[in-house]
A = this chain, B = another copy of it.
Amino acid sequence: MHVAIPLYPRFTALDAVGPYTVLAMAPGCTVTFVAAEPGPVTDDQGALTLTATASYADVPAPDVIVVPGGPGTMAALSDEALLGWIRQAHEHTRWTTSVCTGSLILGAAGLLTGVKATTHWGLMDLLKTFGAEPVSERVVTEGKIVTAAGVSAGIDMALTLLSQADGAETAQMVQLAIEYDPQPPFACGSPKTAPEGMPERVLALMSETI
């Protein structure tokens, strides 16, 4: 299985690296980071640069694409090189997927009309702009389009994909290999469980970075 992960300026690193680490560990699975041109792409914090090793043109027909999100999503919504590659690759994929606001990019590519999808909890309404039906779940599958919630949800999505691609046993082995037995220090990772008023404050901080 060949997985392609597009990188664009100001993506969020964990959106890409969570699914990457899970999928690249599976036997027979290769992952390629792609961009308009091969080379360095810097993340949303400006402190981490990942290298795209191939151009979009180099990878026209991957089995899976995983589109990360991040503050750079808003600019990426009009990045025709990225959108064109997604549209074209989508014709060939087994799964077309996203993490966090990456689903808005799938939407801008025209793939979410009438499709159930998710994104970061704070930007759920924006999905409607693209004709999608927002769903507040960790991982949402409709046909071959699979969208994950915010940032860390890409790990859960990748394990889910792996289970479908190679069977539960492979996914379980990878989950055990990365010791994914999460023990978050707080029960506040969702607006449903966060302290009162905190979602609004997080949104205010996020809006400064977009």
Is the Cβ of A171 less than 8 Å from the Cβ of B186?
Answer: yes
Is the Cβ of B179 less than 8 Å from the Cβ of A198?
Answer: no
| From B138, B150, B178, contact of A14 by CB (8 A) | B178
The complex places the Cα of A30 from the Cα of B46 at a distance, in Å, of: 10
Is the Cβ of B156 less than 8 Å from the Cβ of A176?
Answer: no
Is the Cβ of A168 less than 8 Å from the Cβ of B186?
Answer: yes
Whether a CB of chain B sits under 8 angstroms from the CB of A49 is yes
Whether a CB of chain B sits under 8 angstroms from the CB of A143 is no
Is the Cβ of A190 less than 8 Å from the Cβ of B179?
Answer: yes
Residue from A12, A40, A151, A172 having most chain B Cβ neighbours under 10 A: A172
Q: Is the interface of A mostly helix, strand, loop or mixed?
A: mixed
Is the Cβ of A178 less than 8 Å from the Cβ of B198?
Answer: no
Interface size of A in residues (CB-CB distance below 8 Å)? 66
The complex places the Cα of A205 from the Cα of B173 at a distance, in Å, of: 10
Is the Cβ of B188 less than 8 Å from the Cβ of A176?
Answer: yes
From residue 24 to 42 of chain A, which have CB atoms closer than 8 A to chain B?
24-25, 30-33, 40
Is the Cβ of A195 less than 8 Å from the Cβ of B181?
Answer: no
Q: A121-B179, A138-B183, A185-B171 are in contact. Are A48 and B48 (CB under 8 A)?
A: no
The complex places the Cα of A193 from the Cα of B49 at a distance, in Å, of: 36
